[in-house]
Amino acid sequence: MRWHKLILVALKSIARNKMRSLLTMLGIIIGVASVITMVALGEGSQADIEGQVASLGTNLLMVRPGSVSSGGVSGGAGSRPSLTMDDVARLEKYATQLRWVSAEIRASGQVIAGSNNWSTTIKGVAPNYLSIRNYEMENGSFFTARESKMRAKVAVLGKTVADELFPDQDPVGARLRIRNVPFKVIGVMAEKGQSAMGNDQDDIIFAPDNTVLYRLSNGKTIHDISASAISSETMDAAKEELTALLRSEHRLAATAEDDFVIRDQTEIVAIATRVTGTLTLLLSSIAGVSLLVGGIGIMNIMLVSVTERTREIGIRLAVGARPLDVLAQFLIEAAILSLLGGLIGILSGLSAAWGVGKLLGVSAVVNPTVVLITVLFTGAVGVFFGFYPARKAANLNPIDALRYE
């Protein structure tokens, strides 16, 4: 028989037992749908994390104080107050691999504007912080280097703070009090949304670094340093230069450990990718068990089909069909069952990924390569698990088969 006739016979056989065929395909459908859904959500989560990390800044390098130990007890990251404005000045003067450098001094407190008040974070930064962290202005302007040097009491509001303190009005030019220190609002930041950790990046007030350091903080140490490397290719060189300059400024001995920690976007993305990749692999492996169960179901139902159609097989062999023709017929039937289940599973998986993504607020990224591999794999499952029943049918003795009741 020609291949197109073999396919036609297989389709007719499947159509004769619609419910049984559907139940046979169910394991394949569930397995494929689960794999497609898990992979799509996993890759979507990874893309979301990479996008959120990219929104943190351009070629960002973050310097934080190290930890201090006392009596064998570690105070944890940031417990050693080792960073100062002198560090920032040295980096600005001598660093050749850094485009921008900014101190970060954080303070928190109640902010009052008229009859409204809001508890938020106040961050003292340099004027180039906008470029380092990819912030944009929605209204007004950011403060200048002169205002930072003069410790001017000016503030730029994040979108959330602006909406809470000045609902339905333009806050530029208005006055507010931060921990009883009067400030003038000179601008409002464009909305930035949540960070990779789920924090509201718009619930913040920016003010000049020297203003926050001397009016709202201790006037000595800073919390962090944010820097931007010249390019992504020079990130490693920038980290080495940054380390050398800070060690020199802190007068650390050659054998002494760094009293600061440097992190970059690559490390953040790598950690997040490793976590999401592991979870995706684990969940996909569990879902893949359904494919194995589905394959066993196909083998089982094909064995039943061979038994039911023993006389038909005997007649075909008696009128001249070769065992290879019978083998091909049942293999094609098993492969079609598996492929149909795979196609239905792919459509179900795409729908499930879209629905779950909408429900959880996660992007669903469908990789065509994964879909293609899934289709090929389901076909291979059908052939693999259908081979034994097909071989059993091909090896039947025509005389015994014709006598079968």
**Band (80; pLDDT cuts 50, 70, 90):** low
Q: What is the pLDDT of residue 73?
A: 46
d(CA 179, CA 185): 15
Q: Could you say which DSSP state residue 216 is in?
A: T
- Mean pLDDT of all residues in 126-146: 91
Where is 289: in which H helix or E strand? Answer: helix 265-308
d(CA 322, CA 1): 9
Other residues' Cβ atoms within 10 Å of the Cβ of residue 67: 15
Whole-model pTM: value is: 0.60
* φ, ψ (nearest 5 deg) of residue 354: -65, -45
Q: Which of 4-8, 256-260, 319-323 has the lowest mean pLDDT?
A: 4-8
First to last CA, the chain: 26
Helices 85-94 and 235-249 pack at an angle, to 10 degrees, of 130
Q: What is the pLDDT of residue 77?
A: 54
d(CA 375, CA 338): 9
Burial class of 344 by CB neighbour count within 10 A (0 to 12, 13 to 18, 19+): middle
pLDDT in tens, 243-281: 999 999 999 888 888 888 888 866 666 666 676 677 777
> 240 pairs with which residues across the strands?
none
Alpha-carbon dihedral 36, 41, 43, 47, rounded to 10 degrees: 150
User: Is 290 or 336 the better-scoring residue by pLDDT?
Assistant: 336
Q: Which of 41-45, 56-60, 93-97, 174-178 has the lowest mean pLDDT?
A: 56-60
Q: Name every residue whose Cβ is closer than 8 Å to that of residue 390 and which is 6 or more positions away in sequence.
A: 302, 306, 326, 327, 328, 329, 330, 331, 334
d(CA 100, CA 90): 12
**Band (8; pLDDT cuts 50, 70, 90):** confident
d(CA 29, CA 38): 14
* φ, ψ (nearest 5 deg) of residue 70: -140, 120
pLDDT exceeds 80 at position 114: yes
Q: What is the pLDDT of residue 57?
A: 62
Q: Which of 105-114, 182-191, 395-404 has the lowest mean pLDDT?
A: 395-404
pLDDT in tens, 178-237: 998 999 999 999 988 776 566 788 999 999 999 999 999 888 889 999 999 888 788 889
pLDDT in tens, 49-78: 666 666 666 688 889 988 765 555 454 554
**Band (384; pLDDT cuts 50, 70, 90):** confident
Q: CA Rg, the chain, in Å?
A: 33
User: Is 379 or 248 the better-scoring residue by pLDDT?
Assistant: 248
d(CA 213, CA 224): 12
**Residue 198: helix, strand or coil by DSSP?**
coil
